[in-house]
Amino acid sequence: MKWDKMNLAQAIDHTLLKPDARTEAIRQLCEEAVRHQFYSVCVHSGWVPVCRELLEGSGVRISAVCGFPLGANLSEVKAFEAARSADKGATEIDMVLPIGLLLDNRINEVEADIRQVVDAVEGQAVVKVILETGNLNDELIRAGCQAAEQAGAGFVKTSTGFGPGGATVEHVRLMRQTVSSAVGVKASGGVRDAHTAMAMLEAGANRLGTSSGVAIVTGIQGLEAY
């Protein structure tokens, strides 16, 4: 695919997940998303109503994180948060799977956790499942991806940006090889420039989660190879 500023922007979830983010920063995030026509803004659930008002009529969607950033919440708590976010305007939910259960190889419980969130927003929002790949070996990355697809998730995602490491080309490629073409792959964590963004897309990512969206779409103009 030939990437340019416009179609690259449509692969970006413009992200602000800092705990000290204030209203003006959220406003700026939304203004940038509209100006550059990013696919979505990605925010904590508490900011969804604000973003809905700021983005009304723009075509920019809202992604809300869920069980973030640890994934250790009760499944019913995650499901409730996801459902409330969807009710208030989020069309995508970026949930963190239960990392400890995955490390314990309790795959059925991991799948059940994801399924509760998927079921809670059925018909309203697409679920992206964050694996936190920096904690996992290749076998567990494959297992987490398979559990997400079996549970009905629409995407698998590398990282929260708050855990060890971030997205790598190797992990993105492994995730793309593990899930079917019906499931997207989102690279998130450390994607801060156009060169890194293009490497993730070439490895098989369909979406990028980044707080550096403006720098990325500006930088793509200098990458003649793409």
186 is a catalytic site residue: yes
Spatial separation of the C-alpha atoms in residues 183 and 185, rounded to whole Å = 7
Q: Which of 78, 113, 128, 157 is catalytic?
A: 157
104 is a catalytic site residue: no
Q: Which of 13, 94, 113, 128 is catalytic?
A: 94
Which residues are CB-contacts of 30 (< 8 A; sequence separation ≥ 6)?
A: 41, 51, 54, 55, 60
Spatial separation of the C-alpha atoms in residues 142 and 74, rounded to whole Å = 23
Spatial separation of the C-alpha atoms in residues 213 and 36, rounded to whole Å = 9
2 is a catalytic site residue: no
Residue 135, classified by CB atoms within 10 Å of its CB into exposed (0-12), middle (13-18) or buried (19+), is: middle
Active site residues: 94, 157, 186
